[in-house]
Amino acid sequence: MATSLPFTPAGIDRLSAGKLGDPQTAGLFIEVSRGSAKLWKFRRRIPGRGSTLKMSLGAFPTCSIADARAFARELNAKLEAGIDPREERRREEARDAMTVARAHQLYMQAVDEGRASRAKRRNKPRTIADKQEMYDRDIAPHLGAKCIYAVTENDLVKLVTRKGRTAKVRANRLAAELKVFFGWAASLRGGEVGLETDPSRRLGDLRFPEAPRQRKLSLQEIEWFLVAVAAEERDVRRAMLLWLLTAARLAEVVRAQTCELVGADWTIPAGRSKNSHPHTIRLGPWGRHLMTSNGEWVFPAQRVSGPRKFGWYKARDRVLERMSVIAGRPIERFTPHDFRRTARSNTKRLKIDYETAEAMMNHLKSGLERIYDGYELEEEKAAWFLKWENEIVGLARKAGVAEALEVPAASAVPEPG
């Protein structure tokens, strides 16, 4: 250790080898490296422990004597308070690494294992998939890379408000999911994240008004739909027709697997149905033809392995635009779910009893009836689905698009006229 030189800028400039300790600051010294660089170092035994803290503080003259002393005094204060700066730094680095994306991974593990809610119940596969899809679509692009501890209420408000400009219902679902996710991260259940303050607490105040949907397609609109959908490419056309023929939900149709189809019976498994109850649909000749696929998925994705998840609403928009041209007037927007309402609304006209109509929608019985009445109405449902298919076949033939829509020639519906 060089002790003959003064601990001044001039003295350090003259230092050519070895070390020079600071007489004013415990643990601080400057050392000449093999490459002749002069580096600030700190070394001091940690009080009450058997280890020594060794740290590099920078190079002289970029880091001045005053800077090095300030840094060293801060280290000394922490050591005297019983704090190991290295452990503190590791905690800070771990904290910085806890991005929203990392926290959401931990959250989804808890969701999958049933640890995310106070009820301690495992979510249905469909719910888990919906949560992940909402994160991927609406949260990750804007907040995924941000440290979760730095997320503010304003960040979440902007996220929900942005979604609310174009999709009010989805914005409400997004706000609800953000409350669940950040609430978990700030609870004892989310101790892995350890969020001190929940920035989502007041998101419920942002709820957008939702008017209950009542849209259903008239028989005339169905006819226009059949003409318009004929112009779509085959897989898209098949799926959209099955929305109408089966009254099944969008995800139930487009994520169907070929193994779910046995003969004429398509069974939506409990894991994919909204109410966790399997639902069997007896397909007519046209429905069976439309569901025929040579692969694992009835509607496979074009570029990746799996079902075709995207592009359905864009296809709806194209069909809606064609329908408006055919009708000579704007057609009110409809969603895939509106086909369910359309089918259900036609049951009385087609002389279908209430219980069968509810069963074909996979609506469960209630009260004591649900407990004691185990009759599944499968034959009655099958008769209704065939009757409904025949109704649509008649409209397709009337519109002159039966062949384009691949309606089988041997249909129970006679040629119109």
- Do the Cβ atoms of 23 and 74 come closer than 8 Å? no
CA distance 124 to 94: 32
Better pLDDT: 40 or 95: 40
Range 173-189 average pLDDT: 94
Tell me what the pLDDT averaged over the chain comes to: 89
Taking CB atoms within 8 Å and a gap of at least 24, the contacts of 251-257 are 251/126, 252/279, 253/299, 254/299, 254/307, 254/308, 254/309, 254/312, 255/297, 255/299, 255/307, 255/309, 256/291, 256/297, 256/298, 256/299, 256/307, 257/296, 257/297, 257/298, 257/307
Range 400-417 average pLDDT: 73
Residue given tokens 């469960």 in the structure block: 364
Neighbours of 161 (CB within 10 A): 13
Query: Both ends of the chain: CA-CA distance in Å?
Result: 110
Q: Please report which confidence band the pLDDT of residue 299 belongs to, taking 50, 70 and 90 as the band edges.
A: very high
Choose the weakest-confidence range: 19-23, 41-45, 59-63, 372-376. 372-376
Q: Please report which confidence band the pLDDT of residue 265 belongs to, taking 50, 70 and 90 as the band edges.
A: very high
Q: 3 pLDDT exceeds 70?
A: no
Q: 415 pLDDT exceeds 80?
A: no
Neighbours of 140 (CB within 10 A): 15
Q: Please report which confidence band the pLDDT of residue 64 belongs to, taking 50, 70 and 90 as the band edges.
A: very high
Looking at the chain, the whole-number percentage of residues with pLDDT higher than 90 is 62
Q: 282 pLDDT exceeds 90?
A: yes
How do the residues of the chain divide into helix, strand and coil, expressed in percent and rounded to 5? 50, 10, 40
Q: What is the pLDDT of residue 91?
A: 67
Q: What is the pLDDT of residue 341?
A: 95
Q: 94 pLDDT exceeds 80?
A: no
Taking CB atoms within 8 Å and a gap of at least 24, the contacts of 283-286 are 283/245, 283/246, 283/385, 283/389, 284/245, 284/385, 284/386, 284/389, 284/390, 284/412, 285/389, 285/408, 285/410, 285/411, 286/241, 286/245, 286/389, 286/392, 286/393, 286/406, 286/407, 286/408, 286/411
Q: What is the pLDDT of residue 372?
A: 60
pTM for the structure as a whole: 0.62
Q: What is the pLDDT of residue 410?
A: 67
279-282 and 265-268 strand pairing: antiparallel
Q: 416 pLDDT exceeds 80?
A: no
Choose the weakest-confidence range: 92-101, 158-167, 191-200. 92-101
CA distance 284 to 49: 80
Looking at the chain, the whole-number percentage of residues with pLDDT higher than 70 is 94
Range 77-87 average pLDDT: 81
> 407: closest CA among 284, 310, 321?
284
Q: What is the pLDDT of residue 142?
A: 95
Go through the domains of the chain in sequence order and give each one's CATH number. 9-85 (3.30.160.390), 98-206 (1.10.150.130), 219-399 (1.10.443.10)
Q: What is the pLDDT of residue 414?
A: 45
Q: Please report which confidence band the pLDDT of residue 135 belongs to, taking 50, 70 and 90 as the band edges.
A: very high
Q: What is the pLDDT of residue 368?
A: 63
Range 173-188 average pLDDT: 94
* pLDDT tens, residue by residue, 300-318: 998 888 999 889 999 999 9
Q: What is the pLDDT of residue 373?
A: 64
